[in-house]
Each structure stands twice: as C-alpha cells, then as structure tokens.
Structure 1
C-alpha cells in the first residue's frame, strides 16, 4: 500500500483545481473552435456530465474524508484513469494530434508517477502512446509521411518525460522512505515498538502548547528484576515486548498513545481530562495483561504492573505533570504494587 503524505494530498488538491480549469477551457475551446452545426452534442454533454460528477466526488474525498480512508485512496487513484480517458476524448474532439491540448499528456504521466513511481510513469507513457496512435488512425486519417517527424518527436518527448520524470519521482520516494526509517529509529523504541522517551517529551510539549486536555499515566512492571534474575534477560525482553504490544492494541491512536519511558517503565498520554474515560482505557489493557501467560521453558508466569495517574491542571507544565504521576507511581509501588493510584483518589485494583 502506498502511504499518503501531506504533500501528496496538496498535489491532489492542485490537480483538482487544474481539472476544473481544463474543464472550462476545453468546453470553451471545443464549442468555439471545433464544434460544427452538423455534429451532435449529445456525446459531448454526456462526457461533460460524467467529468463533473467525478470531480465533485473528488472534492468530497479531498476536503471531507480522512486521507487514510479507503474512499479517499480509491477516488484519488481512480483519478489517474479518469484523466487518461478524458485526455483521449479531449484530443479526439479537438483536431486529434494537432490539438493545442496535447500537453495534457504530461500531466497524466506526472499523476501516475505520484502513486506508482517509475513504473507508473512508464506505464502511463505507454498507454498515452497507444492512445495517440489510436487518435492518429481514427481522427488524423492514419500516419502520413509529412507528419512522421512531428509524430516522432511527440513520441520521443513523451518517452523522455516519462523516463526522466519517473526516475526523479522514484528518487524522491526512496529519499522519503529512508527519511521515514531514520525518523522512526530516532523516535521509536527498538524492543517494544512503542514511541521512546524523546517522543514522549515531544508529545507532552505539543499537547500542552496546544492546550489539549490530557491525562498522564505512568506504569512500572512489578518485580521485573526478579524476572530477569530467575528467567534471564531474554525473558525480560519478551515481557517488555509483549507489554508494549498490549498497550499498542489497547489504546486507540485517536484517544491516546503509549511510550516506553525507560527500563521497565511506561508512560501513557490519554487525550482526555476525564478520569472515568482514562480508567476505562486502562482497564482494557489491564484485562489483557491479566489474561497474558508468559512461558519460559517448562515454567509459566504472569506479571503485574503498578500505575500512577494525574489529570493535567490548567497552567500545569510538563515537568510538574510528570512529577505528579511519577510520585503516585512510586506510592503504588511502595504500598502493595499491582494497582493504579490517582491524585486525591484511592487505589483501584
């Protein structure tokens, strides 16, 4: 699956604007310079109606649906095929390969390369050349000797544009992927797959600066040193990895995010100032943890965790909020473990 970037979304909006411009100009050019009274307009109006319907649907996808949604991906990729068939129809209606709108072919190639890189660029180039030949045969009356130099250079420029453009887009895509890998290495914990301490600090700073309501929960694995001493560090790594996975699957990204704070300690930022809502999400994770049985050779064991949680007060800074949650975690660890403590509330088993 091709990942949709913000820059791709902006390009799609730009393509949509270009489509509306070409729709108006093509209609004007055709009706004023190429249409004759002996021709029927029924086919033209039908194609225009289909184009307007698709473009209106595209506007809905671009401005009112999430970028990651299936509807968005389907509509935007369908645009490449719609652009291609529209290009063939426009050229056929405006004097074939003599059409002043022939450069639209380059926009189709660029659009295909946006999603399918070099391969998409070359396939689109090939399809345009096939369509070009079809137009020559249907509209121009076949390949004439006098027109061969013009056709040759049109083919040559299409191939060069598709090839060079495809390479440039492929290089940009590779750079984007590599950049994403390095960013993930800098922000993610290699063992658990969760975001790391650095990312935690960044998320806290962003949430507080944007005045987003948040609740911070700090958690620590009980008796983790004994697990390492008895079963070995590989078993300890397995525990950390599984807890990271349980946190990741228990907390929807729209409602919070889990981090490996350091060692056997984890942090959870909930995007809410409701203690009940944060506790509800905590219990989703807790139920999964209680059902989890770890195996090491012939031995089997379970783990518990202690938590401290604090709702962010208005005006409270990042350091103060972390200190408050961490203090409650310490109290939970020293007063029985396997519990969650809230500020000014009793522990909840």
Structure 2
C-alpha cells in the first residue's frame, strides 16, 4: 500500500524560470491570486508617491528639462500606473504580471531617456533614478522571476546603449557607469530569484505534503471499505452487517431481516466445480446489489452461500412482498443447476424473514436467530420460497442444504 501511495503523489513541477506546471499554477492562483493583486496594488501606489518625490532631485539635476519631466510623470506615468494598480485584480494572472512589467518599463524609460538625452552637467547622475527603478521592480514589486529577468536584461541593454551613445562623457566614466548598471541589475535579479525560488519551493513542499495527506486519507478510507467488503462478491461483509444492525437496533424504528440461502449449493459446487460456484455467488450478489442500494436497504454476505437482506422501517406486508420478489428474481436469473434431483433445473434461494417491530425490545442476535429458524422452515417446506418467522410453528428441523 505504501508503494501505491508514493506512486500516486506527484510533486508539483517547477522549471528553470520558476514556472509551475499548468495545474499547479491554476491552484496557486486560486489560493494566492487575490493576495498577490493586493500586494501589487499597494506597492504600485507607494511607487507612484516615491516617483513623484524624486522629481525634486530631478529638478536639481536637470533644471532645463524639469517641466517636460513633470508633464510626462503626471499625464503618462501616473495614469498608466494607476490603471495598472486598478487592473491587477481584474485580469488573469499572466496578464496581471505582463501589465506590471509594462508599467515598470515605462516608468524606467523616462529617467533612462533623460540620462541619455540631457546635456545638463549632472545628467549622468540620473543613473541613480534608473537603478532605483530596477531595485523597486525586482525586489519591492517582486516581479515573477521570468519577468524580472526580462525586465533587467532590457534595462541593462538600454542603459549600456545610452551610456555608449551619450556625448561628452569620459570613457572611463562610461565603463564605470556600465559596471554600475550591470551590478545593480545582476544583484537585484539574483535577489529576486532567491526570493521567488523560496516562494515556489515552499508552495511545492506544502502541496506535496497536502497531497500525501490526501492520498493517505484516501488509502485509509479504501482500507476501511475493503475491511468491510466481501472479496468475492463485493458486497458488505459480516463486519459491516454487525455494525449496521447494531445501529438499526439501537432505536425504536421497525426493521425486517431476511436470511437467504442458495438451495443445494453444495451439489452445485460438486457438479460444476468451485469456480462456477464462485461465479454463481457473484451473479446473485449483483442482483442483490442492484435491488438493495438505498440507505435503508442493504445486502451483506453472511458466509458461504448465505446472504442477509435488511430493510429499515419495514413491517409485515412490505417484508412479504420484498421476500417474494427476492425468491422470484433469483429464479428468473436462470442460472443452470444440473446437480439438482428435485426437478428444478435452475438456481433458487430460500428465505427466512424476521421482524423487529416498533419499540420492541429485541436484540440483533435474536432477530438473526429467528430469521435462521424461518429459513430452515422454508427449506423444510420445499425450498424456492420464503417463510415469515410468525408462520413458524414446528420446532426447527435441520435439513441438508
């Protein structure tokens, strides 16, 4: 059973870009999507405030372009960021992360362009604005790793291009600036990787533990079912029968118990062999299972060729109708019985019926004994019939079954 349990547990898949398999991704989004959207929304709003505050330093570094920077910030960057903050909770997980990536690329493009375009003496210090954006995107917003990697590569490429094409900058300073951009991008994306990997691995471990617990619970339930099921017929076994009757006999509601025995079953086995006998038992069990599938109707294998049929809230008339239907339905199966010497050529059953009447102080064992006594009377009267316990007047006479 342990081998089966281990084989059924599959750890959620995670690729090199820290992407879950589709099923795990859907489960993660269902569990954590709202929290992720809330985190992005609050962080974006904080980023907008920080971005606006940094316009003060931009005024000191680029006084000649300050007006256009403020206009782009107020009428492009801020509206786009607010739209993203609003939309992250309204779209799919994939589109949500793409929207945030796009917003960060737009927010980083402005200081990077001013770094390249401006001729102001301190314009090279705009590199700090760009690097703050990179740190914010990768470590505060915590872009999903594949998007953080994409964002960092694009910004690093654009920054290297801007540094290389900027006029009037000392070559040594250009090299230093490229190293600064590369260091910040590498450091932040590596930090993002470590954070994202821990998040993904923790979820994978928790899912694996949950799946193992579910598998163990399923295995336990299957074991419990198997422990109460007859292996040959698939019907409930004696253990299930005892538990169910104990429950039924603990209240005042009426019940009928029928003991069913296959007529001349030993002769059937002697004539056709035990494999045919087993198949006969399975066919009869299938007939009982299809007829006794309600919560208040059930059938169990009592042992050998004997079955117990039990009906809750049943009294005399209903029990008679049902017992007669059982006898006739098994005869109608038409299972050939060549070993009989009584002129009957098919398998039949005899049924003994005992009742637990409303509020009657009778035990389970007493009713089973009464059903057994009625069964012997049915056999004594010629088999292929039912007898009610109330109809038994003679002492029980043992007969060969």
Contact 1:214 1:312 in 2 (8 A): yes
Deviation at 1:176, TM superposition (A): 2.0
How far off is 1:98 after superposition?
3.0
- Please, which of 33, 43, 54 is the counterpart of residue 98 of structure 1? 43
Match of 2:119 in 1: none
Q: Distance in 2 between matches of 1:296 and 1:128?
A: 67
Contact persistence 1:91–1:97 (CA under 8 A): no
User: What residue ranges of structure 1 are gaps of 5+ in the alignment?
Assistant: 1-79, 101-126
1:341 and 2:387 are equivalent in the alignment? yes
CA shift in 2, pair 1:280/1:173, >3 Å: farther
Name the residue aligned to 1:317: 363
Is 2:119 aligned against 1:174? no
The equivalent residue for 1:251 is 292
TM-score, normalised relative to structure 2: 0.52
Gaps of at least 5 residues in structure 2 are 1-24, 46-90, 109-132, 143-191, 339-343, 393-401
Would the alpha carbon gap of residues 149 and 87 (structure 1) be closer, same or farther in structure 2, given more than 3 Å must change? closer
Q: Give, in whole Å, the separation in 1 of the partners of 2:231 and 2:216.
A: 22
Cα distance per residue 1:81-140 (max 9 Å; x no partner): 89957975786577527389xxxxxxxxxxxxxxxxxxxxxxxxxx98636514524776
Q: State the distance in 1 between where 2:306 and 2:258 align.
A: 11
Mark the CA change 1:97 to 1:221 in structure 2 (over 3 Å): closer, same or farther. farther
- CA change 1:82–1:184 in 2 (3 A) is closer
- Which of the two has higher C-alpha Rg? 2
Alpha-carbon spacing, 1:296–1:307, altered in 2? closer, same or farther (3 Å): closer
For residues 283 and 385 of structure 2, the distance between their equivalents in structure 1, rounded to whole angstroms, comes to: 19
Look up the SS of the partner of 2:299 in the other structure: strand
| Alignment: residue pair count | 240
Which residue of 2 is the match for residue 136 of structure 1? 100
Residues 32-71 of structure 1 deviation map (CA, whole Å, 9 limit, x = unaligned):
xxxxxxxxxxxxxxxxxxxxxxxxxxxxxxxxxxxxxxxx
Tell me the C-alpha RMSD between the 2 structures: 3.7
- Alignment partner of 1:307 out of 348, 351, 354: 351
Alpha-carbon spacing, 1:86–1:188, altered in 2? closer, same or farther (3 Å): closer
Compute the TM-score of the two structures, normalised by the length of structure 1: 0.59
Change (3 A) 1:296 1:275: closer
